[in-house]
Chains A and B, each alone.
Chain A
């Protein structure tokens, strides 16, 4: 290991470098093999499964049936659109909520920093499902939140914009989006915190000394420097949220079905493997496409 430490600083003696050349590959082999067999190979079998025809009892034959993709999109495009819209709104809301908290922990919490960080991570260790069930209590008609929302005409507003169907909060698009925002919030806070912690407070002071308003300081100093955290956080929130169906099933209604729910049901209840595999593959392709466009655009913005 000692030689390798030198190696990373680039001043190792050539003989030792050559002698221990196999070490990184030996270290990588088991883990990488695991990922290739149980992550990459399944993507191939998934694509292959989607192009097969047959049924569970008689088995499947590969027929290169590409029309399944057209059928899948024709039948389920509303669920795809809905999933991406919900995930997009939830990601935006999570960014709005996470930013002040991450900024507070990184720059203002002082000696309470570790305590607040623990409070951010701790809920994450309690089962996701149990916490989502707790939201059924919080948003139920018997609780004060719904009554307050009704008295303050928030329910009327939500109904007017189509996020709820009646004057309760539960079993609605509103509840699903709120649940998604809540459940993936730590994934937004932690990367944001990491980049805001690196931010030198003297830069903010300097902006103030140069007569920048707080808003200008944020626009010109804080925000650009936190962009890596914003990009990582939005990805880590958007991707799982788009594939999630737990919130949609526990907090939504029949009109809030997301694509994850369809894939789950087609695989495990309807047992239509080719259609389910096609839907799953489409979701993968769409996510990969969106992520690469987003990362590229965010990258250029960072350069500007």
Chain B
């Protein structure tokens, strides 16, 4: 009894972890299903049909392609904008600092439905057509703040003495930045970019306000499918995304732990 009591937190943690991972297991298992009807909700028969033909459902790979394209462009742009802001906030004292911090915080504290709909009213007023460009503008906007938070956390831990040392050794400010500061801040920038990509790739609510019938992203495809009947291919892509994410995150962890070992 006391053994159980001592490990109570561990058991609770494992239970919560299971709660978080069960849907991913279900998605993986159901990617091998041959459903009886239009919906892939009950397991009928084992089949590798969807895995051998992942683009078999109409429009699914086009939507996936658009989401990847938007995700890459939006995360690169947001990472560039966000990293610059993070350096300004982390390294300089200037007037308007607290206003800047507030402006960075606000998009994270605004419900997506408000951001999406307000952007729609702006585009309506300016006559900007909905579609890929509108989606990109929106995605860059809501990703910037998250990049700032990720990069700022890293910049705050950097030792200014390393940059001073570079300057003492005759490096000019550009060299110092490129050879010392940027490599040191890289893990934070990578984390911010990854976060931005996943936020962009996964967004449905804001995208839906700015998309046109010819710009269906992957989440919009899934949403539409949830009303008409969900093809098994959706589960295949979900599983691949989960595995890819695991590989990317674990590789990142490995690289950083190896780095730490080298430093130590």
* Residues of A that sit less than 8 Å from B by CB: 1-9, 21, 23-25, 27-28, 30-32, 34-36, 38-43, 45-46, 48-49, 97-98, 100-101, 103-105, 108, 114, 116-138, 140, 142, 182, 185-186, 235-236, 239-240, 242-246, 250, 259-260, 263-264, 267-268, 273, 276-277, 280-281, 283-284, 287-288, 291
Contact = CB atoms under 8 A, between A and B. Distances in A.
B1 interface: no
A140 B42 contact: yes
Given A120-B20, A130-B238, 7 more contacts: A4-B91, A8-B93, A23-B92, A39-B106, A46-B114, A121-B245, A287-B110
A5 B167 CA distance: 11
Contacts of A277: 117-118, 121
B51 interface: no
Contacts of A259: 113
Contacts of B226: 129, 133, 250
B113 A126 contact: no
B84 A27 contact: yes
Interface in B20-46: 20-24, 26-27, 30, 41-42
30 contacts: A3-B167, A3-B173, A4-B91, A7-B92, A24-B94, A25-B94, A42-B118, A42-B119, A43-B118, A104-B10, A108-B9, A116-B13, A118-B250, A122-B249, A123-B20, A126-B238, A127-B219, A130-B238, A138-B26, A182-B20, A185-B19, A243-B111, A267-B209, A268-B208, A273-B121, A277-B118, A277-B121, A281-B114, A283-B111, A284-B111
B92 A24 contact: yes
Contacts of B160: 5-6, 8-9
B93 to A, nearest CB: 7
A137 B114 contact: no
Contacts of B69: none
Given A104-B13, A126-B238, A280-B113, A42 B121 contact: yes
Contacts of A45: 118, 121-122, 124-125
B202 interface: yes
Contacts of A34: 81, 140-141, 144
A127 B238 contact: yes
B100 A101 contact: no
B138 interface: yes
B216 interface: no
A28 B85 contact: yes
Contacts of A131: 23-24, 27, 238
A129 B144 CA distance: 23
A283 B23 contact: no
Interface string B148-163: 1000000000001001
